[in-house]
Amino acid sequence: MLFGLSHHRNGGGEPAPKRGRPMPPAHLWDASDIWADLTAAYARDELSEGGLLAICLAYEIAWRVHYSQRRKSGDPYIYHPLAVYCAMFEDGVRDVATLAAALLHDTWEDGLPLVLPDYPVSPEYAIWRFAQRLGVYGSDVVACLRVVTKWPEQPDKPLYLLYVGLSENERAVVIKLYDRCHNMATICYKKSDSQKQEAQQTLLYFPWMVKRLLRSRRLGKVLACDADQFKAAVRRRAGLMFIRSWAILAFGPIEPSNT
């Protein structure tokens, strides 16, 4: 189960579309409920055909990058970006750039030679080529990934610099928040020191991110969602994340058997 959306094959019925729709990438059938939700949104005119294709392409790129990777839990790594994407979609986000960037948010760090093969020679050209693949959404997706990525020349990029960049991009704030929510939900598989460090970082850096989103007057327009509904979801998810972080610092690391 990925934040309320299962990833079993042939799960759920597909709605009757208003018009012809493109077929999904082959591997997306492994997440058929996710595809059903996407096509339902497309049928309701919440997503354009171009937007649907951009999300499918983002998934395909993420799948190729993370294909052989595993999380600490032993699960395929692709479950993580899918979980972040699913949480946003479940909470009403329909902005294509945000959803695509959610699927791609770890690809530049984990698969730079694959997704940006020209990066060492010409970084800006490599990034421009990547943006071109996503069409009209490319520039917004790239703007998010620029902020949330630790580049090879910045392996020890201080967290506060990351959050300075986040302050200028609301989409990136949302992605980083939902990314941390899922990481904290699965933190039991990490070592004790790592749990404590991430809990401290969560309580130090993320409250202002939540506050910024809750105070934003243009969030609904940026994310193409119902702002009140989304803010309520942010309060709920962030609250659980903060409680979990506080519990780790107060009572010690969380064991997998206790989750």
Predicted confidence at residue 15, as pLDDT, reads: 39
User: pLDDT tier at 13 (50, 70, 90 boundaries)?
Assistant: very low
Residue 253's domain comprises: 26-258
Is 149 inside any structural domain?
Answer: yes
CATH number for the domain harbouring residue 253: 1.10.3210.10
pLDDT per residue as tens digits for the range 208-252: 889 989 999 999 999 999 999 999 999 999 999 999 999 999 999
- Asked whether 167 and 212 are in contact (CB, 8 A), the reply is yes
Is 89 inside any structural domain?
Answer: yes
Predicted confidence at residue 160, as pLDDT, reads: 55
- Residue 46 tokens read as 């919440």
Is 67 inside any structural domain?
Answer: yes
Q: Rounded mean pLDDT of 127-132?
A: 93
Q: What residues act catalytically?
A: 109-110
Predicted confidence at residue 134, as pLDDT, reads: 93
pLDDT per residue as tens digits for the range 160-174: 556 656 667 899 999
Write down the mean pLDDT value for the chain. 84
Is 6 inside any structural domain?
Answer: no
Is 16 inside any structural domain?
Answer: no
pTM: 0.86
DSSP string over 33-65: HHHHHHHHHHHTTSS-HHHHHHHHHHHHHHHHH
Is 11 inside any structural domain?
Answer: no
Q: Is the pLDDT of residue 188 over 70?
A: yes
Q: Which residues contact 50 (CB under 8 A, 6 or more apart)?
A: 96, 135, 136, 137
Is 9 inside any structural domain?
Answer: no
Count of other CB atoms within 10 angstroms of residue 83: 25
Is 230 inside any structural domain?
Answer: yes
pLDDT per residue as tens digits for the range 14-72: 333 344 444 445 555 455 578 888 889 989 999 999 999 999 899 989 988 998 899 98
Secondary structure of the chain: what % helix, strand, coil (to 5)? 65, 0, 30
Q: Which residues contact 194 (CB under 8 A, 6 or more apart)?
A: 187
Number of domains present in the structure of the chain? 1
> Quick check: helix, strand or coil at residue 96?
helix
Q: Is the pLDDT of residue 125 over 70?
A: yes
